[in-house]
Structure 1
Amino acid sequence: MEIGLIKERTPFYRKLADSAFDHEETKEIIVPDTLPDISGIVDASGIALLRSKDSQSGRIVINGTVQGSVLYLPEGMHEIKAIPVQLPFSINCETSGSDTTSRTIVTAALTRLEARTINSRKLLLRADIGVNVKAFEPAEAVVTVSAQAEVEVLKETITAMPAVEIGEKTFTIREETELPATGAPLGKLLRGTSRIIIEEVKPSGKRLAVRGRTEINILYLSQTSGEISSAQFFIPFLQVTDTEAGEGICDAQAEIMQTGAYITVLDPEEATPHKISIEIAAVLQMTVRRQISLISVRDIYSTSYETSYENANCVLDGLMNKERHDLAIRELLPFADVKNILETRAIPGRARYETGQLIIPIRAAVLTVGEDRIPTVAEGRYEMSCEISLPEKKHGISVKMTDITAVPAAGGVELRASANVEIRIFEASNIQTVESAYLGDTPPAGSALLPSIIVARAGHGDTLWSLAKRYNSTREMIASANDLSEESEISENDLLIIAKSR
């Protein structure tokens, strides 16, 4: 006869993939007819925009665009010109087990945009893009919590912190701002770039609040002098979203990818244009974890009938620990002549762990202009590091650049960059549960030969449960006869009175 088992189902998301890789994209572009011939390249920079991410059978398809500009010196002229560039990219990330129901977290960062002249009217662009892809599949932890029969059951409680929601929310940041009164009057806008900085991710009940700021950098030509100038703005934002995780969120991660960036001059036909229109479209991607406790029946027997059963295993991904580190670097980039610092960039690479140290490579660039009014860019590769001990378990490392600045220094400019590093350690919980159980028509094998009561010595590894099952008794009966509780631990060679169940 089959024993009726009561089961509980707990939905969660199982991680399928967590990969980081570099992607290279190249493209030839023609200088627009409205612009003069190229004499020399000054700088190329931009941002990566995420257009779409599509989970398919065995792969994740990512589409995006590198949006930026190439600054150059025209032949026979001293005024800097800018060529706007759009470099589409498409990536197929092979992901075993993924399908249309999978959820993804995707980030892409432009680590370098390089422009080379083929001739005075043609450029070769090369974009290096750092990509991170996490994929999850919806899953269920199915455990037996009790039995609908007079049988003995052994239960255990498992506590874990699995991902219970992988979600996203699109939003838009809009702002109209004026150039600082101390800055040069706005003439021609050469380039506008944006960077979203997450400052706080705060779970509260069923809601998740993500607070941060958007950094806007523009390069433009002064309306009066024609010199290249720059300005920087910060736009704070707060995104609050409801989650499906329920009460008791214990951990949340947020990644924000820009999907569109539009930085333009308002009323450019005015005699003295000074207002900038900013519109940033973005997608907030969330991983929400909640601590749960599962009670599972892992063993079962009857004192009256022969019992057979089958076990099943369920693996539940969970967060074990997390820690945060604030890192910073100060490095000198050499310049012969610095009048103004126009733009500072610092992009983190893939973190690596080497014998007690976490090392994060940084690729940085600083654009300056000298007394000769010609912009110059200097690049450097550096490393941030901290001492840390990582256990031999799965872990995730998130690096987010916070403040990126540069100041004049002897011999050039001093780059000052800081980053927030979050490390999460994951541990899988292997849950054993009785999947099915059956009662036979005869008493348990050997039970007829057992005496009604015996004194037995506990062996190595014995528990009240194992002794009760061996001698056709129950934990309650053994505990009562020996003045113990059912959860008492016993030691090897302990003498116990054990009565057989009737």
Structure 2
Amino acid sequence: MELELKKNCFDAYEAGGELTVTQEETTETIVPDYCPDIARIITTDGKIYIHNRELRDGKAEVTGTVRVTVLYTPEEEGGIRTLEFAMPFTAESEGRGLPDCASVLAETEIEFLETRILNPRKVFTHCKLVTRMSGWRRTPVAVCADVEAPEELHVEKRLERQHAVVLTHVAEKDFTFSDTLTLSPGREGAAEILTSRACGTVTEAKVVGSKLIFKGVFTASLLYRDNSGKYTSFTGELPFSQIMEVEGAVEGTEAAARLQVTGADFQVDGGDPEGRDIAVTLYLHAAALLRQEREVSLLSDLYSTAYDLTYEASPLTLTGFAQSLTRRQTVREVLEIGVVADSILALSATCGAVSVSREGGTAVLRTGVSVRALYLDEGGAPLVAERCVDVTCPLELPEDCHVTARASCPEEVQGSLGDRGIEVRFPVEFQAEATAQVKKVCITAAKVNTDAPKELSGTPSLVLRCLGRQETAWDLAKRHNTTIAAILSANQLESEADIAGDQLLLIPRKRA
């Protein structure tokens, strides 16, 4: 006789794999006619704009652009000039690296970027890129939560309550943000923007109805030539809020959202004669992971005290622990320079990939931060000082959890001139996601042979023994063809918790 199982079914996402693709790109660029000849390259900066992410038969492809900005001093002129150009790139996974995945999230970072002069009208740029891809597959989960069995079959069942964290949504959205960045009072207006950069930080994300509302702030940094001909930098913040459709989401679901800038445009507002207003347009890609906590009942074991019972079981993997953490580390370093500096023009700090290692019970996050200072020496010549700083962040997390993390510098880098060089101060924010999985066994089918009652005439009616090491009351009852209730009653105990490890127990045989 087949037993009727009660099943609890729900959809979920699970990690489908992680890939890292490295590549090199090179290009030769002609200096446009409207730009003067190049005498010396000061520095090269690059911004990654990912435009598209595709999955085809498990093969991932990421396309984007490296927006390169070269600052240089022109021949027979003073000051700083800008040369900008784009380097398109495509990162592809080898073979079917992400099989059966429904979506892919990707991040690309610049590992190395250099531009050198071929002649005063031509430059050569060499770039090394690292693209990290994470695939997510949609997986239906079927859990056997209980069993229906007539009383005359004398079926005993073992149900386990399991805490599970279910990834219910991997949602994505492209959107455009426009606003005006106003220079602070007392500053000269901008005549020309030399470099610009923007990064976004999500400070709040919550599900309301079938929508995800997330808020945050964009930090925009500029280096510009003002109306008096001087070069200066400015950093400002622009708040934002967005709504993303997440059909089927439940209010109270934990949401983690991240942003990628896929394009940016900074222009001096033509409607402002003083040049104090900067029109900012950002093109963005938002990705959100929504997790819901559930208490799941698992039918993990069965037996009958009256008949032979057989069952089939299969392994079941559930996420039992998931936590999103944000930690901030403050960095103070000195960039040593071999000349006397007159003033600092601009400071920046760019975080690389985050590695995770274990030191005892602590997970240690580590990233390399590239710190760069553009400054003027005492003769007014623009120079650059750079240094890579190793930043670590310890986290107390379970040893068996999997940790992924990102790092960013969400605020303006502060700096000052000192005796040893340029002292910089800035925060590094680590955003980590930790998950731990629990492996269980769940019954998928069960059958009772009602034509073969158990032959119990030769078995003792009473057994006297203690619990064995790592043995439970369930194990004891099943082995001796009785029930937990019968054991508790025979020993005048109220619950399993009352059984002492060295207690001698009376184990009666249950009579059908």
TM over 0.5: yes
Query: In terms of mean alpha carbon deviation, does 466-475 or 288-297 score higher?
Result: 466-475
Distance 2:377 2:187 in 1: 17
2:237 corresponds to: 234
Q: Using a 3 Å threshold, how does the CA distance of structure 1 residues 275 and 494 change in structure 2: closer, same or farther?
A: same
CA deviation after TM superposition for structure 1 residue 233, in Å: 2.4
Distance in structure 2 (CA, Å) of the matches to 1:160 and 1:50:
34
State the 1:471 CA deviation: 3.4
Q: 1:235 to 1:271 in 2, by over 3 A?
A: closer
Which deviations, in whole Å up to 9, do the C-alpha atoms of 1:168-203 show, x marking residues without a partner? 233322112444442233323323222223344556
Q: CA deviation at 1:498?
A: 1.3
1:394 aligns with 2:397: no
What residue in structure 2 maps to residue 474 of structure 1? 483
Matches within 5 A, 1:36-435: 36-94=36-94, 98-99=98-99, 101-110=101-110, 112-150=112-150, 151-201=155-205, 208-225=212-229, 227-241=230-244, 243=246, 244-249=248-253, 251-267=254-270, 273-320=275-322, 323-335=325-337, 336-352=339-355, 353=357, 355=359, 358-370=365-377, 372-387=379-394, 391=399, 393-411=401-419, 412-435=421-444
CA contact (8 A) 1:51 1:63 kept: yes
Output the CA distance in 1 between the equivalents of 2:193 and 2:97: 47
Quick check: 1:172–1:280 contact (8 Å CA) kept in 2?
Answer: yes
> What value does the CA root-mean-square deviation take over the aligned residues?
2.9
Contact 1:217 1:343 in 2 (8 A): no
Counterpart CA distance in 2 for 1:178 and 1:145 is: 60
- Tell me if the contact between 1:107 and 1:255 (Cα under 8 Å) persists in the aligned partners: no
Contact preservation (8 Å) 2:104, 2:135: yes
User: What SS does structure 1 have at the residue aligned with 2:262?
Assistant: strand
Using the TM superposition, give the Cα deviation of residue 130 of structure 1 relative to its aligned residue in structure 2, in angstroms: 4.5
Query: Against the structure 1 CA distance between its residues 26 and 501, is the aligned structure 2 distance closer, same or farther, given a 3 Å change threshold?
Result: farther
User: Which residue does 1:494 correspond to in 2?
Assistant: 504
Q: How far has the Cα of 1:476 moved from its partner?
A: 3.1
Which stretch shifts more, 57-66 or 329-338?
329-338
Amino acid at match of 2:257: A
1:431-466 residue CA offsets vs partner (Å, 9 max, x unmatched): 211111112243354434335x42432441443323
Quote the offset at 1:52 in angstroms.
0.9
Q: 1:385 to 1:466 in 2, by over 3 A?
A: closer
Segments of structure 1 that go 5 or more residues without pairing to the other structure are none
* CA–CA separation in structure 1 for the residues paired with 2:344 and 2:95: 44
Compared with structure 1, are the counterparts of its residues 454 and 233 closer, same or farther at alpha carbon in structure 2 (3 Å cutoff)? Answer: same
CA offset digits 1:55-85 (Å, max 9, x no partner): 2333321111112321212222224221111
Q: CA deviation at 1:310?
A: 0.9
Q: Secondary structure at the match of 1:479?
A: helix
Query: TM-score normalized by structure 1?
Result: 0.89
Aligned partners of 2:16 and 2:99 also within 8 Å: no
Shift of 1:387: 4.8
**TM-score, L = length of structure 2:** 0.87
Residue equivalent to 2:27 = 27
The amino acid across from 2:376 in the alignment is: V
Is the CA contact 2:180–2:278 (under 8 Å) kept in the aligned structure 1? Answer: yes
CA distance in 2, matches of 1:155, 1:179: 64
8 A Cα contact 1:17 1:95, kept in partner: no
Structure 1 residues 278 and 444: CA distance shift in structure 2, 3 A = same
Q: Answer whether contact 1:16 1:95 (CA < 8 A) is retained.
A: no
The SS at the match of 2:474 is helix
**How much does 1:323 deviate?**
4.8
Could you tell me how far apart the structure 2 residues matched to 1:323 and 1:186 are? 39
The structure-2 alpha-carbon separation of the partners of 1:214 and 1:247, relative to structure 1 and needing over 3 Å to count, comes to closer
Amino acid at match of 2:262: T
